[in-house]
Amino acid sequence: MKLVAKIELLLIALWLGAACFFSFGVAPAAFAVLPSAEMAGNVVNRTLLIVNVSGLIVAVLTLATSFLPQTYPGLAWAWARRIFLLLMAAGCAVGQFVIGFWIAILRAQTGKPVDQLANDDPIKLQFDMLHQASVWTLIIAMAAALIVFFLMTKKNADVAKDKPLIDPAFDFSKEMKI
């Protein structure tokens, strides 16, 4: 496997790990530990910014390097990888720059923490809908990254399958037969 492919795989794995840690560790812990939902929301919002922007950067860099000459088991694998990288980038970009923008506008409109609004308040209902959309865009980006990870490891496994496991120069099985 070439160095570029190893770096690509590392970047995808690191981002996927960070996104999982955010989703299953940081966000629930912030709401469980911090004294107010507003403070927890601020921590989660700031951390989500890092996750989304880094995911967008990783997806765009990996997408750009996917056009470098590499050995693929087939052209379909290369284009499948590119499509899922675009999906990952789109999920991160939409989550941060579209949904995040609308959530920020709603938070500014309330003049008070969103959790203090009544459950049937139109702003609260719209906030909840946007929050769910944000969660789903991150899930889509994470699923796309996971698929890219497996496509990349499949590509590397197929390329490695063609190579012998033992270097012929060090294959002493013929000389060591009993």
Residue 17 banded pLDDT, cuts 50, 70, 90: very high
Q: What is the pTM of this model?
A: 0.82
Residue at 80 is within a domain: yes
170 in a structural domain: no
Whether residue 79 lies inside any domain: the answer is yes
For the beta carbon of residue 102, count every other beta carbon within 10 angstroms. 15
62 near 12, Cβ under 8 Å? Answer: yes
Structural domain range at position 26: 3-161
pLDDT category at 30 given cuts 50, 70, 90 is very high
H/E run at residue 168 = none
Burial of 155 (0-12, 13-18, 19+ CB in 10 A): buried
Provide the token pair at 68: 């470098």
Residue 161 clears pLDDT 80, i.e. is over it: no
Q: What is the pLDDT of residue 170?
A: 56
How is residue 103 written in tokens?
């959530």
Give CA–CA dist 48/96, Å, rounded.
8
As for how many domains the chain has, the answer is 1
